[in-house]
Structure 1
Amino acid sequence: MERAMDQNDDLATVVVIDASQSRLATHCDADTALTLIALASEDPANWNEAMSAWPRYRTPAVCEFASSVPLEETDCEEAMEALQSAEAWLVIDFREKRILMGGNFMSVDRDDAFAMVVDETGKQHCPLSIHLPPWWELHKGVTAETVNQPRQSPINKPYVNRDILYGDAFLTDIAARVLETVDSDAWRNSNASEDRHARYPFTVAVHRDWLLTPRSDLGGRVPRQLLHGAIEWNDHVTWGQRRRFEDGGPMIAAPDNWAGFESAPMGSQEMCLYFDLCREVIDASWFFLTDQRNPSDEPTGNPAPDGSNSGTDIDQLTELLRGVKDLWLSNSFEGGSSPNFIIECDRRRVPRGAEVVIDGIDEVESEQHIADCDCPICEMMADGLFGVGFTSIDGHHLELDNEFAFSMIQTRDAWEQQQIEDAKFHAEMDRKWAEREASGETHDPFASAWSGVSNEGPIPGDSGGFLKMAFMVAEIVSELERCNASRDDITSLNECFANYRRSDADQRLQSASELKANLQSLADRYSDLVSKSADLQSRIDEALRRPASNETDLDHPF
């Protein structure tokens, strides 16, 4: 981050334009001007909407309420005269969705970050993140006359019709495709009715065809197009709010009462969950048709024009899928919060921190840690050593089918290029491995005992070395599970390690001895753990020889 301007008293002329009127401030300080630019990150349609986003960007460097910003109503002629005579000026045009800067106004990029407060030691605080939506134009170093010129390109803001993506249009389409598939020769000639694994290619086909088939109710577009267009922007804004929270700011959700909120673009979290929802609905359809309905049952009612199952069957299946969809959206997702909550956070651009209260949303992210988890890293997280744990869905599973339809990459050209690069990478890895096999170098006697700890240096912020040891203990636990070790062995190891890292200076030597004895006992009984046990014991001895330090310094260890 960087400080906004060199001087706190730098002033600029600011003009705010929306559909109804213009507003003018002739002596706006730099911090306020920057904060006004940051408001555009939320894509407000007018000044009133922008003011409601002020709490998400306000810092101690600016006034508490947006209504206190010294903007006065003005006409176009007065605004132009003020801009032409100003040494530094800024125009925020909500009507045309653009920002213009001229004169000596500082350079601000589309994606930028500033520290709004710098303390007496020089440490930066109060981050202000700017991430303009892709459909906003940014003009720097222009003349005042540019304000009266039209945009350089049309406003191409993605429009998401969620009534189609989540409503009966979606469910009926899936029902029809599934019924048609079950009546097809390809299905009959497979073992899909009996084997769930054999159904998977049919699941992929139904899902792909739903996303890539043009629809008249979308003006000829395909549903996939509704998922893309603003993922990176949405995620950047959300990340900016996380940085603000981690600096001590409040967690505040974006307003949900703006015009266009229901059709606003998707972020990555909603896109990932939409993939999972589609799979849930399709899988439920197979289950209903193959496991619940007698395969010998004839379709009821009149046949559809294409000869597939009847309209009555489609209605019945669609009704079932409504319940499946609603239940899935409201239930826990992978042991955590519900998809409804995750989607709301994504649409309102706030990160999900465990048990973090979000201003504007009643629900909070569920606690991440499992009480009886065998992972020592999770136990450290449960102890609160890493601060608030944030959760997100990375979307890797959308790429596993190698299908463009599901990919988080927006265009087919970019996706195909990524496929080529991935193929080259894997081919190079295969070539190097083949060379090592041919030369007999597949086993390195000097290789590390650890598969997941490749760097011998300390982890940043892990002054006590406990985090790195936790990764090593986790590998040993994994090896014990592979060897079908008893629960007592795994529990005892985790307890000894927990006692060691929690012990104070007076207890440290005793707890270290107990941990080393436990490791040696495991090595005596499980030969595959000999090298890991010996290495970790030596690291414990090394840690005991180090001078005492602030072992609670685990700020952002990664």
Structure 2
Amino acid sequence: MSEENQPAAVAVLDADGCHFIRSVDPDTALTLFAVASEDPHSWDEMVDYWPRYRTPVVCEFLSGLPVEKVDQASMMQTIRQTDAWMVLDLIQKRLITGPGVSKTGRDEAFSMVDDDNDDDQSFPLSIHLPPWWELHEQVDAAVIDAIRETPIHKPHVDRDVLYGDPLLEDIASRALDTVRSEAWLTSNAVHNPRSRYPFTIAVHRDWLMTPREDLGGRMPRQLLHGAHSWIGLLVWAQQLRLHERGPIVAAPDHVFGYENAPMGDEEMVVYFDICRELVDAAWDWCTSERGIYAIQHDPECHLLLVQWLREVKQQWLDAPFEGGSPPSFIIECSRRRVPRGVGVPIAGMTRQEEKDSHVADCDCPICSMMADGVFGIGVVGLDGHHLETDNEFAFSMLETREEWEEEQRSYAEFDKEFERETTGHVEDNNDELDEFESVWSGNVTEQPIPGDPHGQLKMAFLLSEIISEMDSLQTAEGEIPILNERFRDYRSCDDDQLAAAAERLKQHLQYLANQHPELTGRSADFQSRIDEQLRQRGSDASP
């Protein structure tokens, strides 16, 4: 890390004093720099965060370093005698380096190479300083004694308000006001759930956009933003370690400020979904027999609805989400800054991402390949695209209205350009079928797909189209499972069994074509592609 690859002095300042390492090798210094990405509060927390950044080129435990407790005057005296130094000020949230330390930057990725390993294997190390941290690189030591230049604006998330009874009470009040309103009574919302959607948007939006006294005048929406992009980078850094066969290590949940720590992307997405779930549950209760009776006769109907929503919330948090892990686990992973690798253990956590029941039971050959691990370790995530479908700033993952409005303008321009390109005059040549027209509805390129040397992924895409057509034709029970089984045997068998497996797959395809003439063209083309693959693999195996 030092410009001449020499040892550096490192000081960590926290409320307990100065933790000083008089000389540390460049790899360890860079790893300490990276640990600051987690926004540690103390030296002990740096020790806890160390495993998330530790690679084989540095010591296993941070406690193994020769750390001294010294007064700041002694630390400054030593630092002034060298240019190679680094100070992590955990109190003022600053990272400061001396002139003899090469610049690193706020967001960087490095490959740590183990020189003692014969294969020169490298290990990823990512640095993503929090937005509220100041970075002063290659500066004079006088900066250490100065106060930081800007106030610390770290997001503070009150989850007791966001997830607790304040949320439930607000939704209950708004729902009850809505069902008593003229707009609701004159609509068909009582009998038609689809008619309730505009009311759902309004309740959800108003909850997020109304300043609250228990939040110090802030709106709930403001608590969702401020750091989710940074946390996304920390999650991505752990995913890089996973792809390089390193362990996923969860951020500890006992650190200072964990309960009120900023929200990440996936927690924000789940929060949107839980709000929608609760609003929909409120409509269900208000339109049920007991709800209608309570609204008309019970002065405590608000309390009854809150109790109902409390039960709905807990059940939803603990139930599988879209066939996978429950929302409570997704939230925990987001808060502990780890990706969700399917079936991959997470150091520091007892649970792991469950195999999606959709993938396990699906007829799609691509899903089957995913379940078999053909594409390597599967990492699942929520991208939050549905947060933008209502065209409401309140739900957007963008923090400011200015950013959101700019995005809306970009979408509008894209739509106009797309319309210009698609509404031009196109000569109608459909009177006669082009003899060279593809039998496939999608675009089929003859170029290989990267990472798919034998063309199996491309074949899976084509087979999924055949299966989709079989679904629409309502083919006999068992025909699709047999087809998937024959394809699985073909793509996973040993070379000496390849010809026989290919013949069984072709025979079933021909059987399907005979039974369902609509499949004839696709079946014939797929069989010819099998023959071409066999020829190609045979030529590759030739000396």
TM-score (ref. length: structure 1): 0.90
Residues 248-282 of structure 1 deviation map (CA, whole Å, 9 limit, x = unaligned): 22222111111110000111111111111111111
Name the SS for the 1:82 alignment partner: helix
Give yes or no for contact 1:86–1:103 (8 Å, CA) kept in 2: no
User: Which residue of structure 1 lines up, in the alignment, with residue 98 of structure 2?
Assistant: 102
Question: Aligned in 2, Cα 1:130/1:290: closer, same or farther, shift over 3 Å?
Answer: same
Matched residue, 1:28: 24
Tell me the equivalent position of 2:320: 332
Give secondary structure in 1 for the equivalent of 2:349: coil
Go from structure 1 to structure 2 and tell me whether the alpha carbon gap of 1:167 and 1:86 turns closer, same or farther (over 3 Å shift): same
The within-5 A match list for 1:406-417 is: 406-417=395-406
Cα drift, residue 524 of structure 1 = 4.8
Q: Deviations over 1:155-205 (max 9, x none)?
A: 110000000001111100000000000000000110000000001111111
Residues of 2 paired with 1:289 and 1:174: CA distance? 12
In structure 2, C-alpha distance between the alignment counterparts of 1:528 and 1:84, rounded to whole Å:
82
State whether structure 2 residue 525 is matched by structure 1 residue 542: no
Matched, 1:194 2:182: no
1:241 aligns with 2:235: no
The letter for the 2-side match of 1:37 is F
Output the CA distance in 2 between the equivalents of 1:399 and 1:162: 23
* Alpha carbons of structure 1 residues 429 and 171: separation in structure 2 relative to 1, 3 Å: same
2:112 is matched with 116
Q: Which amino acid aligns with 1:495?
A: E
Corresponding position of 1:388: 377
Aligned to 1:304: none
Aligned with 1:456: secondary structure?
coil
| Residue 33 of structure 2: aligned partner | 37
Give the CA deviation at 1:468: 1.8
2:322 partner SS: coil
Deviation of the 1:550 alpha carbon: 10
1:487 match: 477
Find the aligned partners of 2:416 and 2:92 in 1 and give their Cα distance. Answer: 49
More moved, 182-191 vs 351-360 = 351-360
Farther-moved stretch of structure 1 (288-297 vs 414-423) = 288-297
Instruction: Identify which range, 18-27 or 235-244, moves more after superposition.
Output: 18-27
Residue identity over aligned pairs, in percent, reads: 50
Aligned with 2:202 (options 189, 201, 205): 205
Note if contact 1:453-1:471 (Cα within 8 Å) is conserved in structure 2: no
Deviates more, 1:528-537 or 1:447-456: 447-456
The code of the aligned residue for 2:356 comes to: Q
The CA distance in 2 between the partners of 1:393 and 1:112, in whole Å, is 24
2:179 is aligned with 1:182: yes
SS of residue paired to 1:366: coil
Q: Could you tell me which amino acid in structure 2 is paired with residue 96 of structure 1?
A: Q
Q: Counterparts of 2:430 and 2:35 in 1: how far apart (Å)?
A: 56
Q: Secondary structure at the match of 1:293?
A: helix
Alignment equivalent of 2:265, drawn from 260, 268, 285: 268
TM-score between both structures, scaled by the size of structure 2: 0.93
Q: 1:217, CA displacement in angstroms?
A: 1.1
Distance in structure 2 (CA, Å) of the matches to 1:153 and 1:440: 65
In the other structure, the counterpart of 1:505 is: 495
Task: Give the counterpart of 1:428 among 393, 408, 417.
Answer: 417
Partner of residue 51, structure 1:
47
Per-residue deviation at 1:547? 3.7
Q: Flag the 1:91–1:296 CA change in 2: closer, same or farther, 3 A.
A: closer
In 1, Cα distance between equivalents of 2:80 and 2:291:
79
1:441 to 1:245, Cα distance in 2 relative to 1, 3 A? same
Mapped pair 1:130 → 2:127 = yes
In structure 1, the partner of 2:334 is: 346
- Indicate if the aligned counterparts of 1:452 and 1:471 stay in contact, CA closer than 8 A: no
Partners in 1 of 2:398 and 2:418 — Cα distance?
A: 24
Give the root-mean-square deviation of aligned CA atoms: 2.4
- Which range is displaced more, 53-62 or 288-297? 288-297
Given candidates 387, 395, 399, the residue that maps to 1:398 is 387
Q: How big is the shift at 1:99?
A: 0.8
Are 2:163 and 1:139 equivalent residues in the alignment? no
Q: Which residue of 2 aligns with 1:532?
A: 522
1:295-323 CA-to-partner distances (Å, cap 9, x unmatched) read 4765335xxxxxxxx5x111111111111
Matched position secondary structure for 2:21: strand
1:76 match:
72
Is the deviation greater in 373-382 or in 221-230?
Answer: 373-382
Structure 1 residues 104 and 406, CA, compared in 2 at 3 Å: closer, same or farther?
same
Name the SS of the counterpart of 2:368 in structure 1.
helix
Q: Is the 8 A contact 1:135 1:155 kept in 2?
A: yes
Q: How many residues align?
A: 537
Q: In structure 1, what is the equivalent of residue 309 of structure 2? A: 321
The Cα of 1:525 is off from its aligned counterpart by 5.0
CA contact (8 A) 2:56 2:114 kept: no
Structure 1 unpaired stretches of 5+ = 302-309, 552-558
For 1:404, the aligned partner's letter is: F
Structure 1, residues 108-159: CA drift from partner, whole Å, max 9, x if none? 1211111112566775422111111111111222211112222121111000
* Structure 1 position 441, deviation (Å): 7.4
Q: Which moved more, 1:118-127 or 1:70-79?
A: 118-127
Superposed CA deviations along residues 486-522 of structure 1, whole A, max 9, x for unmatched, are 3333223212211211222222112222323333444
Question: 1:231: how far off?
Answer: 0.9
Counterpart contact for 2:486–2:504, Cα < 8 Å: yes
Q: Which amino acid aligns with 1:355?
A: G
Contiguous gaps of at least 5 residues in structure 2: none
Letter in structure 1 aligned against 2:482: S
Q: Aligned to 2:252, what secondary structure does the other structure show?
A: coil
- The whole-number CA distance in structure 1 between the counterparts of 2:520 and 2:416 is 35
5 Å-filtered alignment, 1:249-260, equals 249-260=246-257
Change (3 A) 1:345 1:29: same
Tell me what 1:306 maps to: none
1:205/1:549 Cα in 2 relative to 1: closer, same or farther (>3 Å)? farther
Local SS of the residue matching 1:494: helix
Matches within 5 A, 1:434-513: 434-435=423-424, 437-440=425-428, 449-450=439-440, 455-513=445-503
Match of 2:89 among 88, 93, 110: 93
SS of the equivalent of 2:282 reads helix
Give 1:63 shift: 1.1
Between the aligned partners of 1:171 and 1:549, the Cα distance in structure 2 is 67
Give the secondary-structure state (helix, strand or coil) at the position aligned to 1:263.
coil
**Pairwise CA distance, 1:440:** 3.6
Q: Tell me the equivalent position of 2:284.
A: 287
Name the SS for the 1:126 alignment partner.
strand
* Partner in structure 2 of residue 365 of structure 1: 353
**More off after superposition, 476-485 vs 312-321:** 476-485
Farther-moved stretch of structure 1 (373-382 vs 184-193):
373-382
Q: How far apart, CA to CA, are the structure 1 residues paired with 2:522 and 2:75? A: 72
Greater alpha carbon shift after TM alignment, 472-481 vs 405-414: 472-481
2-side partners of 1:148 and 1:549: how far apart? 71
